[in-house]
Amino acid sequence: MMPAADDRTLAAGGDTGDLGLLFHRLNNQLGIILANAELLEAKSADEMARARAAQVVASVLDAMTTAREIRLRSR
């Protein structure tokens, strides 16, 4: 199991107050989830698995939009 992102930042002596860095990391993580969900959607053999992967894709895109809105409002 990987340590929480906040634990890695604190252990490295990073400043968790840097919202720009946190949003960048969040978008990177969401991008990885999105890429894998799109791959699952494209490679799924049955309709049910494709539908589930499509739901993950849609939810990640919504999360990315929400993160962007939060970042813009926090300026």
Token pair 């053999």 is at which residue?
45
The span from the CA of 25 to the CA of 64, in Å, is 12
pTM of the model: 0.75
Q: Is the dihedral of CA 10, 71, 69, 25 positive or negative?
A: negative
Q: Say yes or no to pLDDT of 7 above 50.
A: yes
- Other beta carbons less than 10 A from residue 32's beta carbon: 11
Q: With bands split at pLDDT 50, 70 and 90, how would you rate the model's confidence at 75?
A: confident
Q: Packing angle between helix 19-43 and helix 47-73, nearest 10 degrees?
A: 160
- Other beta carbons less than 10 A from residue 60's beta carbon: 20
The span from the CA of 64 to the CA of 21, in Å, is 15
Q: Say yes or no to pLDDT of 20 above 70.
A: yes
